[in-house]
Structure 1
Amino acid sequence: MNFKRLILPVFLLVALSATAQNKIVVNTDLGKEKISRHIYGHFSEHLGRCIYGGYWVGEDSDIPNTNGIRNDVVDALREMGIPNLRWPGGCFADEYHWMDGIGPRDERPTMINTHWGGVTENNHFGTHEFLELCNQLDTEPVICGNLGSGTVQEMSQWVEYLNSGNISPMTDLRKSNGREEPWGVKYWGVGNENWGCGGNMTAEYYANEMKRYSTYTKNYGDNRLYRVACGPSGADYHWMETLMRDGAPGRSFQGISLHYYTVAHSWGDKGSATDFDENDYFLTMSKTLFMDELLRNHINIMDRYDPRNRVGLIVDEWGNWHNVEPGTNPGFLYQQNTLRDAMVASVNLDLFNNYCRRVKMANIAQTVNVLQAMILTKDDEIVKTPSYYVFKMYKVHYDATLLPTDVESEFYSHDGERIPAISTSASKSEDGTIHITISNIDPNEALDLTCELRGLENVSFERGEIITGEKVNSYNDFGEAEEVSSASFSDVKVNGNQLEVNLPAKSIVMLELR
């Protein structure tokens, strides 16, 4: 992909003058699509210290816990808002055999986590522990089944174990392990990255396998599975075309995934999470904006085969991928998290909001201690990352009506290249409250912005929040005062239905209006 060209998100009308007025028009009377809260979902894999030490410490740990799950992590994620959690992978999912993770923990067999560090997995965190975690988080479980190395029978029996209330061997097995009633798990991934670590399959081969496996993932009682087919990696439009044409969309699957990670340089050298210059920052933001092109092109394919919009686009792996922190296991993917990561989160969430007609779920990778994490842990300490504060800020959009926006934006220019400086999305809650999230991507210049709420005569500014930091590589660390968090924002002037807003450089702002 050539990043020398200008990258223009489809929902932006970007002025071509370097001295352009920065203006957002929010069409308050045109909203019709709902922003699903599941766009703000998360992903946790058996990888590094995400599960063990991240969530799970065991009942005998000195770290305060409830049924083996750390209280501080649960409290922080509940405060942030976590509508769903995807598990057990990732690449791990297609080598995971669920029956190894049930029953008495001291009797569970071990396995080697061949994808992530070659460490021994003791299976102490399995189906019951995951669903206990979801219960404590008050979140929807999203389980990814093993299509790569598993069998149809194995996947079918896992669904039955989870969801059946009938008299059957799987129901009896669940009850013998201490769970009387079925959980009623709805969201079910039919394999993961089967074009790569999940089996290196062709799109045509996977489409047939997916239909076969999907046939035997049954509905039980009133619960209706929402099956997520493995979709493409990045710009693999052939994969999307094949699945939408041959995979029986709407019957065999109700959602199809998309994976895209923002990698600043190359997969061989992704760059430091904290030690980077403006060249790295600009490249990261440019590559993040490529998500717009991916969404637009994949949705166009989906629209041709599914004009009734029955199938959701599920962006169930996304986020920044940097080099691991020096001195850590390269297979554990532990990286710090800066204001740059927060900017990447805000831009992607704005895109998902604006494409919510088709984007029904997304899962940032990964929740604790891995990749673009919300929380970092060390022994009994935790850190809330800059990305954590973005997700906490953006939960005002949960299940609200998307308000279409038109944007004129200056460019953020660097080294002869340029991208739009402003990212935004807007929504209206059931009680009529309007929320606008706006990011100034430019790390150097503040922007004066006019915001018109078309369809209203008068607007009342209720409150505002801002996320920023001294530098784009500011971050929060153990034992130190937070360098990036959320603060009150009030640099807003109201005149009828127009706002005048001053956006500081490298900032993310939320405005609440009535």
Structure 2
Amino acid sequence: MRRSRPAALLVFALAGFGMVGGPPATAAPAGVDVVVNARAGLETVSPTALGVNHAVWDTELGTPAVADLLKNAGVRAMRYPGGSYSDIYHWRDNTAPGGYVAPNTDFDHFMAGVRRAGGQPVVTANYGTGTPQEAADWVRYANVEKGYGVRYWEIGNENYGNGHYGSAWEADDHPDKSPAQYATLVRDYAQAMKAVDPSIKIGAVLTTPGEWPDGITAEGDAGPWNQVVLSIAGPVVDFAIVHWYPAGASGPEVLPKTDRVADQVQLLRRQMRQYANKDLGIAMTELNTSYGRNTQPGALFAADSYATLMANGVFNIDWWNVHNGIAETSTIAGQPDYNDFGLLSSGGCTTDGSVCEPAVNTPFAPYHALSMLSTFAGPGDQLVPAEVTDPLVKVHAARRTDGGLSVLLANEDPDNTKAVTLGYTGYTPSTTAQVLTYGNGNTAITTGSGSARSVTLAPYSLTTLVLRPTAQTTLPPTPARPLATDVTDRAATITWPTPPPGSGSLKYELHRQVGTTTQQWGETTGQSFRVTNLQPATQYTVNLVARDTAGRLSWASPPLTFQTATPATSTCTVGFAKTTDWGNGYVASVDITNDTDHPVGPWELTFTWPRAWQRLDSGWNATWSQVGDTVHVVGETALAAGATWNVGFVGAYSGPDVTPVAFRLNGTLCAT
């Protein structure tokens, strides 16, 4: 969205906050078990994963002080020129008609800061009030004339917010504001920009699954925004752009919402393959929270969301933003919060002067979370599965390129200490670990030493354990990501590329991820394996592990996730289709066909919601009910042989809408 700061920044002193909350908890810490499975593998951290946003209305943009702070935090990507300003900003004369542009915020000043920080730029070309030629000229200036090597270029910012779906915050001078017009012009932008520098990567704006206006089809459109944009522009772009600001008025409302990330990413990838016929990279170029932006909830959310996004292969994640400005003030967990989107203080006061932020560039809590993240996992490190027994403790783990293993723990309980016991599969750590902690109200990360097997987490704290192996050894090369082909309801063929020359004699083990354990499905010296006896309509995640003649095991490959089909034939067939979707609910039509040679009655159709944020609101042409997460549809009349009965319902959702695929008629799984 368009989030602009005050035109002027004022320097002021901290004032007006009282301490709240009771004394520290005195009860014995709650026991928590953590298990890390280093034998399995998630995604590898991209060099541009840890990013932030810059904005041309920020007087501190590109200054040495800010660049050094970002470098010290390990920030590796910086986005410019700033959210919705991107669609009014003209780079050549550093102007944004209708908005405020601070002095010394032009592109060259931005790049000076990027270079000082050792980061990579992510630049948003002006779609709303610009032209493909203006964008191509920017590429020429950046990469041909100046040699800046800007690799990632977005076309516009949140362009679905141009009024086409009702809400209008994004500038768009085009008479046609449809997704088809946006996608058509994205093709023109990509062609013009790549004609200057074919090596650049072009990103198109998509909606985040489960967030407005995802799923909505406006009048005259061929489908929702993502479907239309991917169908037209997908073949010529290289990555997708999404933003996420999860809503909530408290820690318990906001912090658990990172459980939506995996579905967001999976649905985006499914849409890409369906409508663009290829995989695209995913960049979340704006991210922030709605609660505790400057205090510990913001730090906890930043650490958990970045780590979760990296584990799911998002290659660029940019916090909104470096500086923003004071808004409504409050006290959260005993600490002053200014509802400021910035990582660093802007040094301003409320309009009445009663409350002021700390001195300009003072880091807020999320800044320290990003610093913690850069220690936890860097470019090339591979995240691995980890599980925890306490829902208020979040855990992430990463195998490091230097042979180490790191574990990131977030205690999201504001009141209680947690005593954590850690276990490891596929990794034997040395007895001691480096321990980094960032607690509620701290102004820096503390580094010490401790046990690799146990740690005590303070309330509302972040902790990272950096472990070393008991013995260092040379491992076989990590296999490439496998592919699934010939997938049926009961079987799939898993294939992978041949190893690089000089790898020696290798045998490949195929493992299924099951939480923090693995099930070995088989092994082979070849490059394919046929898996059988699978369950229909079931999602599987697998890794390859290479074993050499000495018995040494490689790191796990990047993961492959695939879903088996429903039976090709059954005694019943179900057709499911959404007829209307309004962004947090929809009307669905369901056709139930009796494929037997005799009537079925009484009959009951059942299906289970894939996610807890989905529910049944109402239904017709049958008796509808929901018990737990299972929907029951009871027929009012017998279903004749070969007959089809249509029923319908209203479903509601408050996160990524994962469509149910397993429908059972009187207990029998139907074809779909």
What TM-score, normalized by structure 1, do the two folds share? 0.70
Pairwise CA distance, 1:34: 1.5
In structure 2, the residue matched to 1:94 is 87
User: Cα RMSD (Å) of the superposition?
Assistant: 2.8
Q: Does 1:341 align with 2:298?
A: yes
Separation of aligned partners in 2, 1:151 and 1:187: 18
User: For residues 96 and 21 of structure 1, do their structure 2 counterparts lie closer, same or farther at Cα, with a shift above 3 Å needed?
Assistant: same
- DSSP-derived class of the 1:314 partner: strand
Is 313-322 or 23-32 further displaced after alignment?
Answer: 23-32
Separation of aligned partners in 1, 2:385 and 2:447: 24
Q: Does 1:299 align with 2:269?
A: yes
In structure 2, the residue matched to 1:488 is 447
Separation of aligned partners in 2, 1:70 and 1:123: 12
User: For residues 218 and 385 of structure 1, do their structure 2 counterparts lie closer, same or farther at Cα, with a shift above 3 Å needed?
Assistant: same
Separation of aligned partners in 1, 2:98 and 2:423: 53
Q: After TM superposition, list the pairs within 5 Å mapping 1:366-381 onto structure 2.
A: 366-370=321-325, 371-378=340-347, 381=360
Letter in 2 for 1:241: Q
**Relative CO higher for 1 or 2, CA cutoff 8 Å, sep ≥ 6?**
1
User: How far does the alpha carbon of each residue in 1:101-152 deviate from its partner, in whole angstroms, 9 at most, with x for none?
Assistant: 2xxxxxxxx65444xxxxx436642122221221222211111001111112
Q: Does 1:441 align with 2:444?
A: no
Letter in 2 for 1:395: S
In structure 2, the residue matched to 1:213 is 189
1:183 aligns with one of 145, 148, 157: 148
Q: Does 1:264 align with 2:248?
A: yes
Separation of aligned partners in 1, 2:381 and 2:301: 23
User: For residues 96 and 511 of structure 1, do their structure 2 counterparts lie closer, same or farther at Cα, with a shift above 3 Å needed?
Assistant: same
Separation of aligned partners in 2, 1:391 and 1:203: 34
Computing the radius of gyration over CA atoms, which structure comes out larger, 1 or 2? 2
**Contact map agreement 1:234 1:258 (CA 8 A) in 2:** no
**Contact map agreement 2:234 2:275 (CA 8 A) in 1:** no
Q: Does 1:505 align with 2:492?
A: no
User: How far does the alpha carbon of each residue in 1:215-248 deviate from its partner, in whole angstroms, 9 at most, with x for none?
Assistant: 1112556x61011111214521533333333323
In structure 1, the residue matched to 2:158 is 193
Separation of aligned partners in 2, 1:21 and 1:243: 49
**Contact map agreement 2:258 2:308 (CA 8 A) in 1:** no
In structure 1, the residue matched to 2:234 is 248
**Contact map agreement 1:449 1:502 (CA 8 A) in 2:** yes
2:180 aligns with one of 204, 227, 237: 204
In structure 1, the residue matched to 2:281 is 312
Separation of aligned partners in 2, 1:71 and 1:456: 41
Pairwise CA distance, 1:303: 5.0
Pairwise CA distance, 1:75: 2.0
**Contact map agreement 1:399 1:429 (CA 8 A) in 2:** no
Pairwise CA distance, 1:321: 4.1
In structure 1, the residue matched to 2:252 is 282
Pairwise CA distance, 1:464: 0.6
Letter in 2 for 1:294: Q
- DSSP-derived class of the 1:24 partner: strand
- DSSP-derived class of the 2:49 partner: helix
Q: After TM superposition, list the pairs within 5 Å mapping 1:26-45 onto structure 2.
A: 26-31=36-41, 33-45=43-55
Pairwise CA distance, 1:290: 3.8
- DSSP-derived class of the 1:263 partner: coil
Separation of aligned partners in 1, 2:121 and 2:383: 29
User: For residues 508 and 155 of structure 1, do their structure 2 counterparts lie closer, same or farther at Cα, with a shift above 3 Å needed?
Assistant: same
Letter in 2 for 1:376: S
Q: After TM superposition, list the pairs within 5 Å mapping 1:56-95 onto structure 2.
A: 69-95=62-88
Separation of aligned partners in 2, 1:70 and 1:44: 11
- DSSP-derived class of the 1:100 partner: coil
- Structure 2: any 5+ residue segments left out of the alignment? 1-29, 162-169, 216-223, 326-339, 349-358, 469-672
Pairwise CA distance, 1:40: 0.7
**Contact map agreement 1:350 1:423 (CA 8 A) in 2:** no
User: How far does the alpha carbon of each residue in 1:312-360 deviate from its partner, in whole angstroms, 9 at most, with x for none?
Assistant: 11000011246xxxxxxxxxxxx9611111011111012112202xx11
Greater fraction of residues in helix: 1
Letter in 2 for 1:74: A
Letter in 1 for 2:76: P
Greater fraction of residues in strand: 2
Separation of aligned partners in 1, 2:429 and 2:294: 40
In structure 1, the residue matched to 2:389 is 409
**Contact map agreement 1:260 1:291 (CA 8 A) in 2:** no
Letter in 2 for 1:83: R
User: Sequence identity of aligned pairs in percent?
Assistant: 22
User: For residues 121 and 193 of structure 1, do their structure 2 counterparts lie closer, same or farther at Cα, with a shift above 3 Å needed?
Assistant: same
Q: Does 1:226 align with 2:201?
A: yes
In structure 1, the residue matched to 2:599 is none
Separation of aligned partners in 2, 1:393 and 1:255: 27
- DSSP-derived class of the 1:38 partner: coil
In structure 1, the residue matched to 2:11 is none
- DSSP-derived class of the 1:247 partner: helix
Pairwise CA distance, 1:292: 4.4
Q: After TM superposition, list the pairs within 5 Å mapping 1:339-488 onto structure 2.
A: 339-356=296-313, 359-370=314-325, 371-378=340-347, 381-396=360-375, 397-410=377-390, 420-469=391-440, 474=441, 483-488=442-447
Pairwise CA distance, 1:202: 2.9
Separation of aligned partners in 1, 2:429 and 2:252: 38
User: For residues 144 and 454 of structure 1, do their structure 2 counterparts lie closer, same or farther at Cα, with a shift above 3 Å needed?
Assistant: same
Separation of aligned partners in 2, 1:400 and 1:308: 24
- DSSP-derived class of the 2:427 partner: coil
**Contact map agreement 1:345 1:390 (CA 8 A) in 2:** yes
Is 295-304 or 203-212 further displaced after alignment?
Answer: 295-304
**Contact map agreement 1:210 1:247 (CA 8 A) in 2:** yes
- DSSP-derived class of the 1:135 partner: helix
Letter in 1 for 2:203: V
Separation of aligned partners in 1, 2:281 and 2:140: 24
**Contact map agreement 2:56 2:102 (CA 8 A) in 1:** no
Q: Does 1:131 align with 2:85?
A: no
User: For residues 21 and 305 of structure 1, do their structure 2 counterparts lie closer, same or farther at Cα, with a shift above 3 Å needed?
Assistant: farther
User: For residues 147 and 308 of structure 1, do their structure 2 counterparts lie closer, same or farther at Cα, with a shift above 3 Å needed?
Assistant: closer
Letter in 2 for 1:361: N
**Contact map agreement 2:88 2:96 (CA 8 A) in 1:** no
User: For residues 290 and 509 of structure 1, do their structure 2 counterparts lie closer, same or farther at Cα, with a shift above 3 Å needed?
Assistant: same
